[in-house]
Homo-oligomer: A and B are copies of this chain.
Amino acid sequence: MKLTRAHAVHRTTKRPESSTVILPMLRGARRFALISLLVPIACTNSAWAQPLELRNTLMPEPSSLSVQPGSFQIDASMTVRFTGTHDEVLEQATTRAITQLEDLTGVELSKDFAASAGAATFEIKVDHPAETVQSLDEDESYTLVVRPGYIGLNAPTDLGAMHGMQTLLQLVQSQPGGYVLPAVTISDTPRFHWRGLMIDCGRHFQPIPVILRTLDGMEAVKLNVFHWHLTEDQGFRVESLRFPQLQKMGSDGLFYTQAQVREVVAYAHARGIRVVPEFDMPGHTTSWFVGYPDLASGPGPYTVQRRFGIHDAAIDPTRESTYKFLDGFLGEMAGLFPDAYMHIGGDESNGKQWMANPQIRAFMHAQNINDTAGLQVYFNQRLLKILTKYHKHMVGWDEILTPGLPTDIVVQSWRGVDSLSRGASAGYQGILSAPYYLDAMKSTADHYLADPIPANTCLTPDQQKLILGGEVCMWGEQISPQTIDSRMWPRTAAIAERFWSPATVRDVPDMYRRLQVMSLRLDALGLQQISGPQRMLRQLTGNTSSPEFRTLTSVLEPVGLGARYHLQHTDQLTPLDGLVDTVAPDPPSRHQLDQAVQEFLADAPQHERSRDCLEQQFRSWVQTAPALGLLMRRSPRLTDYAPLAEQLAVLGGIGTQAIDYIRVPSDMPAGWQKAALAQVTAMEKEKNLVRFTVLAPLEQLIQATGGNSTE
């Protein structure tokens, strides 16, 4: 019997036994003696909800944390004092944090930072003011001390103070009568300097509100690099005043004005986030050529490319006019984006247009360039000169890692940790991205456990220092402003922990527990990973309340980019508003059903509770199905999914039976186990681009009937 995918899912979510050994201090700190603010409350709300418990819900986990008795009561007597340096950046960050604290607690707090000390003091001591342009190696550490009547936040820089404030907000706990911060001592510093999130705004444009709320989410999870993928075959998304036909002809009117770019850069800076723009060259450049066909290696005219994938169109690297243009364009962009790094892409250039052009071939011959890879090295060397002239460091994808380039470039690896390690061995700085591609629709656990420097790395300690960090990548083929949040969040919060926290923080169930709380915090910031899918469901069903559909969609997830592309042949113009866009990758159901099944099978003290929750869940699937099927058949956009309703009922029936047969094995009819397994495994195949999230634990339940007698 084959259960490959399902087994893989299960493997990644089981508890690593070693975590209590690895992290003794954190282990000890994991339970605060206080009531958590945001943990879901009771099984009455959902079969999955956890009981009210007293727990650490920080994400990312700090490097060191200890809990003391007592707490700081949040009330109107709290005053903020700056006892070190403080500039506008810090004051604004503090105001925002205080406002968020008010929103969390409903308590009106003083924002008059000049006030004399009150009964309770929040003392902020920063050694140095913020740098005008945030740098890669700026100190981001902080210490946070909370005790009754006193909060002390110390940091060498504004950045550390900003991170400390986010930690502080995450410490808020409710208890009868009010809100408190538990007494703690936290000393925290990030593991990696480069903790990024890339958004591809080329293939689908993302309006400014999406970018701004994303930056809010990044701040909350201590990410510090927004990598803005601005140009693609499918769209040129930034305004150039020197070469206005770039955006005028290459964007369908969907681009960021320079004023908007400045706003984004300032907004990010105020949140401790650098903005690294990417202008992908020499491939992925069709949109440039619509307005400037002379830049291309092949004859025009060009139109904006609608199809995805690797295209032949490429910049002509042999003409001096190309470099004159790029000097002008990149010089303009260098002024617009203050960060010291600029990303030139460099990926997936197939060289076809180059080889088809006799003049380019002649140039290669004359210059003793053997192949198109060599020609790209030549191009990159010329680009490097331009970037250096404008005081920018070069960043590029794997392909730029070639002998001809100096080691002060930064290589972003989409190929994986081995490629990254080879670069580091050769002295190149690197950023890992391959395991953090959100469009693969993988589980949070999969992303979470992938480490830029795995425990078994062959790199020397000095080579390890060349691994600057990692970047989450949100590619744009199949996302819209309506769906991007549910693809990015909350999974990105867990990856952010990978980049910030000690490598030893790898407890998957604990990550999922904290992630659920973190998701509600992100929701409070205006991110739409919860509200967006609910809105799309309202639109699909034409109803403000669709409990039947919420039952179904909570156990569905979209297939990954590749599968969808293969099955649906999407291009830039495909509407992204179907059920596949409505359901979210790795919804809580996957981990929660798994956990309930593990508890039930372990015959633990929670046995009774987990059985009740499982039975309640399975029953809801069975009960929902008839109405669901009826509703689906009435809506043209859902008719094709109607079989899912019947499948849901089947799954619920099988689950109920499995529980019965585990309790009373003698009740199980002959052949039931085999037949049930066959039914469930048959559902592993995607159905109209979506698939069930709950099959693996169900299969485990079935396996457990009759004492694993089937194999």
> Are B263 and A259 closer than 8 Å at their CB atoms?
yes
Q: Which of B179, B516, B530, B635 touches A174 (beta carbons < 8 Å)?
A: B635
The yes or no answer to A601 lying at the interface (CB within 8 A) is no
Say yes or no: is A30 at the interface (Cβ < 8 Å to chain B). Answer: no
- CB proximity of A264 to chain B, nearest CB, Å: 12
Decide if A543 is an interface residue (CB 8 Å cutoff): yes
Task: Report yes or no: B263 in contact with A257, Cβ–Cβ below 8 A.
Answer: yes
Stretch among A339-347, A501-509, A531-539 lining the B interface: A531-539
Which A487-545 residues have C-beta < 8 A from chain B? 516, 519-520, 523-524, 526, 528, 530-531, 534-535, 538-539, 541-545
Q: For the complex, give the distance between the alpha carbons of A635 and B176 in Å.
A: 7
Looking at the complex, which of A10-18, A162-170, A570-578 is the stretch in contact with chain B? A570-578
In the assembly, what is the distance between CA of A663 and CA of B371, in Å? Answer: 91
Instruction: Write out the residue numbers on chain B whose beta carbons fall within 8 Å of the beta carbon of A542.
Output: 37-41, 174, 520
Contact between chains at B545 and A535 (CB < 8 Å): no
Taking CB atoms, residues of chain B closer than 8 Å to A301 are none
A98-106, A120-128, A421-429, A463-471 - interface stretch: A98-106
List, in ascending order, chain B residues with CB within 8 A of A541's CB.
Answer: 41
Known: A102-B575, A257-B263, A636-B177. A546 touches B208 (CB 8 A): no
| Cβ contacts under 8 Å, A42 to chain B | 627, 631
Contact status B539-A103, CB under 8 Å: yes
Contact B543 A538 (CB under 8 A): no
Minimum Cβ distance to chain B for residue A146 (Å): 18
Contact in complex: B45, A543 (CB < 8 Å): yes
Q: Which of B44, B535, B636 contacts A176 (CB 8 A)?
A: B636
- Find residues 536-560 in chain A having any chain B CB closer than 8 Å to their own CB: 538-539, 541-548
Mask of A666-678 contacts with B, CB within 8 angstroms, 1/0: 0000000000000
Is B105 touching A637 in the complex (CB atoms < 8 A)?
Answer: yes
A626 to chain B, nearest CB (A): 10
Q: Are A531 and B520 in contact (CB under 8 A)?
A: no
**Contacting pair B544 A530 (CB below 8 A):** yes
Asked if A107 CB lies within 8 Å of chain B CBs, one says yes
A635 vs B36: C-alpha distance when bound (angstroms): 11
Q: How far is the CB of A257 from chain B (nearest CB, A)?
A: 7
Cβ A45 vs Cβ B174 within 8 A: no
A648 to B544, CA, bound (A): 22
For this complex, 18 residue pairs linking A to B, each with C-beta atoms less than 8 Å apart, are A40-B545, A41-B634, A44-B548, A45-B547, A52-B634, A92-B253, A95-B252, A108-B574, A174-B636, A176-B634, A208-B208, A257-B259, A520-B542, A524-B535, A524-B539, A530-B535, A531-B534, A534-B534
Query: Other than the known A41-B543, A524-B535, what 18 A-B pairs have Cβ atoms closer than 8 Å?
Result: A37-B542, A41-B542, A42-B627, A42-B631, A45-B543, A45-B545, A102-B575, A103-B539, A106-B636, A108-B575, A208-B209, A209-B212, A482-B526, A520-B539, A528-B531, A530-B538, A531-B531, A534-B534
